[in-house]
Structure 1
């Protein structure tokens, strides 16, 4: 079983169902999912990471690397997966506190109302994860200046969720996930400019899922992460 599947089976999660109607998804709150789990930690071996994509957005060095804080997962630059955008580093004052390398850089999209990443894939169920660490990269203190700062996420043509950084700690990371079905050989993740702040993204990840998981997820219905609650005393668990 892919490592991402293990990670998703550990928590008790409340998730929002995306009910696709033509080109726009309607979201409703799903029942709590209580999933049985084991306490065995699974390390990322090459066979368990087959099909994984982990993009460090805004990274200027194209050489893949393995983050020492996330064993077994290879990260790479997002160059070649998106057209346009500007690369940045978070402010120096936040660098030392960033737990992962991918939080130190980002790609912003000041131009255009819609900018899309194309993630190569195979047909079937996938977990798509996007992370956003503002880190005052532009020196404008946008998350704390009192004005709205939000933009949208789409999976293909369908609305996924809004990313709202208004009054958000610049050093903190917003985490978005969706379980969806890839219709073909790629998954499109798009950032939508609402006119209330420049869209950006720090990291994008794709994880293949077994088709037997989440039977209610299909080509018409996807589910979005709402909350993950851990039980027990494990202190080193990493969601991959």
Structure 2
């Protein structure tokens, strides 16, 4: 059973605040079944370019997501599974390489052509053109656009993909389905989930899905969200 209480809305009216009765109930809600007992309903495979990993995503038991990550050369696999309500509904776009590098590459390439034409110094022009090509390569291979599967409270990225990822249509279809799942299985904004979300981020860190810095930031965000201060 769930307790249902009503609190005043500062803008007027009432807002239903659903709070689970105990942390044990929250734990049971967020804990996936063993793999042998899972009923899978959707599966999507992704082999992104410029990434050492390939991924498999599987939705199961109506409200859980399983992610497996396999190294393309070493073939070692990491697997994690969790309630979809622990994720944000939409993927976030990030820019690891500044757009100025791309502009700089074009400007340097144009300058190399002009120097070759005006100064008749084709060796200098070729060297400048090579530098332009290096800048463009840094932009092409280093640019990151999409950070998938940010955690709801900690904002920790589980999967980061290049913007030139393969199978964009299939990826968009999967993300749309996942977004619907998240919206229909939204977890209550309750302090009962504080310990569970913190424990989940610690598990992701131990499994290698997020690094120590991302874990520390996520933990600090969760503590701040629940009006607590992270211990020094």
**TM-score band (shorter)?**
under 0.3
Q: Which structure features the higher share of helix residues?
A: 2
Q: TM-score, normalised by structure 2?
A: 0.24
Q: Which structure features the higher share of strand residues?
A: 1
Higher relative contact order (CA 8 A, sep 6+): 1
